[in-house]
């Protein structure tokens, strides 16, 4: 992974930092694994705007990702490492021994030609391999974790994220999340060895407002310049500070906890994330 700082030959490129894309091996996706992706522009079925700041953007096609990794005890060879416009992480095209091809989230250090596999037994804890938490050595860096067995990965899927397996007790494994939260997950849930690829994603600087438009993001009006009728932070004479940061509906934005106190999974959280 690397980033490039561009020469300031235009004002838009003065501060721009782009991804080097060193890990990418092809720019042509696998046709059998892409699907159309429609844009709503933030409008509902009546054409009325129901979500603000959405619209425009470059056309995309969705890459069908295998989050379940449920083709057990069969080795797969990594064919390509590819860019995915729908997520911050890179993806890998793998081909199984029976000829089936699938996209998976690429881990840091995954190479073309490498063999990966998934299963409940006989799988080595090596980068790219997927196995239950009960089989992974303690202290291992993992990603793409299930919250419920068979559900498919939904934790630590974005660029550069990882989770550390801390302990096991009975049917639960204790993991430390990217947020700093420590929680218990069923040991039968699957996880992939290694941190997610494209860890330099956080260093990228777009350089100009137009790049946000390419991503489908429309301009956003700051609450402090609105009128009191439009936002709790609006109004005041001159350049008023706006008061306490809060949402349009009045919910505080910094430090206010919105998690339901009676949520059933709350008992699985060992230590809350830091404020």
pLDDT in tens, 80-124: 999 999 999 999 999 999 999 999 999 999 999 999 999 988 899
Instruction: Measure the CA–CA gap between 120 and 193, rounded to whole angstroms.
Output: 14
> Do 189 and 97 reside in the same domain of the chain?
yes
Instruction: Measure the CA–CA gap between 135 and 117, rounded to whole angstroms.
Output: 14
CA distances from 155 to 106, 190, 267 (A): 14, 11, 18
| Helical (H) or strand (E) element with 76 | strand 76-82
Mean pLDDT of 191-202: 96
What is the pLDDT, as a whole number, of residue 242? 85
Whether 16 has a pLDDT exceeding 90, the answer reads yes
Helices marked H in the chain — which ranges?
A: 210-214
> Do 228 and 260 reside in the same domain of the chain?
yes
Instruction: Measure the CA–CA gap between 3 and 198, rounded to whole angstroms.
Output: 10
pLDDT higher at 112 or 255: 112
What is the pLDDT, as a whole number, of residue 55? 95
Judge whether 21 lies within some domain.
yes
The pTM assigned to this predicted structure is: 0.91
pLDDT higher at 67 or 1: 67
> Do 194 and 95 reside in the same domain of the chain?
yes
Whether 253 has a pLDDT exceeding 70, the answer reads yes
End-to-end CA, the chain: 30
CA angle in degrees (0–180, nearest 5) for 117-119-124: 60
What is the pLDDT, as a whole number, of residue 2? 86
Whether 256 has a pLDDT exceeding 80, the answer reads yes
Mean pLDDT of 162-182: 95
Judge whether 209 lies within some domain.
no
Mean pLDDT of 192-217: 95
> Do 56 and 132 reside in the same domain of the chain?
yes
> Do 65 and 185 reside in the same domain of the chain?
yes
CA distances from 86 to 34, 103, 200 (A): 12, 13, 17
> Do 188 and 259 reside in the same domain of the chain?
no
Instruction: Measure the CA–CA gap between 239 and 11, rounded to whole angstroms.
Output: 28
Task: Tell how many helices (H) and how many strands (E) occur in the chain.
Answer: 1, 15
Instruction: Measure the CA–CA gap between 90 and 149, rounded to whole angstroms.
Output: 25
Overall domain count for the chain: 2
Classify residue 222 as exposed, middle or buried by CB count within 10 Å of its CB (0-12, 13-18, 19+).
exposed
What helix, strand, coil percent values describe the chain, rounded to 5? 10, 25, 65
Q: Which of 177, 178, 174 is nearest to 136 (CA)?
A: 174
* Residue 7: domain span: 3-201
**Conformational region of residue 243, where left means phi above 0, alpha means psi within -120 to 50, and beta covers everything else:** left
Instruction: Measure the CA–CA gap between 129 and 110, rounded to whole angstroms.
Output: 10
Q: Which of 67, 65, 77 is nearest to 29 (CA)?
A: 65
> Do 70 and 144 reside in the same domain of the chain?
yes
What is the pLDDT, as a whole number, of residue 162? 97
- Mean per-residue pLDDT over the chain, rounded: 94
**How many residues does this entry show for the chain?**
275
**Lookup: tokens for 143:** 């990603």
> Do 113 and 67 reside in the same domain of the chain?
yes
| Model confidence band, residue 1 (pLDDT cutoffs 50, 70, 90) | low
Whether 142 has a pLDDT exceeding 80, the answer reads yes
**Conformational region of residue 235, where left means phi above 0, alpha means psi within -120 to 50, and beta covers everything else:** left
- Over the stretch 32-44, which tens digit does the pLDDT of each residue have? 999 999 999 999 9
Those residues whose C-beta lies under 8 Å from the C-beta of residue 50, and which sit 6 or more positions away, are: 42, 43, 44
């Amino acid at each position: 992974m690397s980033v490039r700082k561009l020469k300031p030959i235009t004002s838009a490129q003065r501060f721009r930092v782009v991804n080097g894309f060193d890990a990418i091996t092809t720019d042509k996706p696998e046709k059998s694994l892409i699907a159309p992706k429609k844009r709503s522009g933030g409008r509902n079925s009546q054409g009325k705007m129901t979500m603000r700041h959405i619209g425009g953007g470059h056309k995309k096609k969705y890459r069908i990702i295998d989050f379940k990794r449920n083709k057990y005890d069969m080795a797969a060879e990594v064919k390509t490492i590819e860019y995915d416009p729908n997520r911050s992480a890179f993806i890998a095209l793998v081909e199984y021994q029976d000829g089936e091809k699938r996209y998976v989230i690429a881990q840091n250090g995954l190479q073309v030609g490498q063999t990966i596999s998934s299963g409940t037994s006989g799988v080595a804890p090596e980068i790219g391999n997927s196995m239950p938490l009960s089989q992974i050595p303690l202290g291992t860096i993992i990603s793409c974790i299930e919250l419920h067995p068979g559900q498919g990965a939904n934790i630590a899927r974005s660029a550069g994220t990882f989770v550390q397996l801390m302990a096991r007790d009975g049917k639960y494994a204790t993991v430390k999340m990217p947020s700093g939260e420590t929680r218990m997950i069923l040991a039968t849930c699957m996880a992939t060895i290694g941190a997610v690829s494209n860890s330099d994603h956080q260093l990228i600087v777009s350089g100009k407002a137009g790049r946000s438009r390419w991503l489908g993001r429309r301009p956003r009006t700051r609450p402090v310049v609105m009128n009191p009728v439009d936002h709790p932070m609006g109004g005041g004479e001159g350049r008023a500070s706006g008061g306490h940061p809060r949402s349009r509906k009045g919910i505080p934005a910094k430090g206010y906890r919105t998690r339901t106190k009676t949520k059933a999974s709350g008992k699985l959280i060992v230590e809350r994330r830091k404020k």
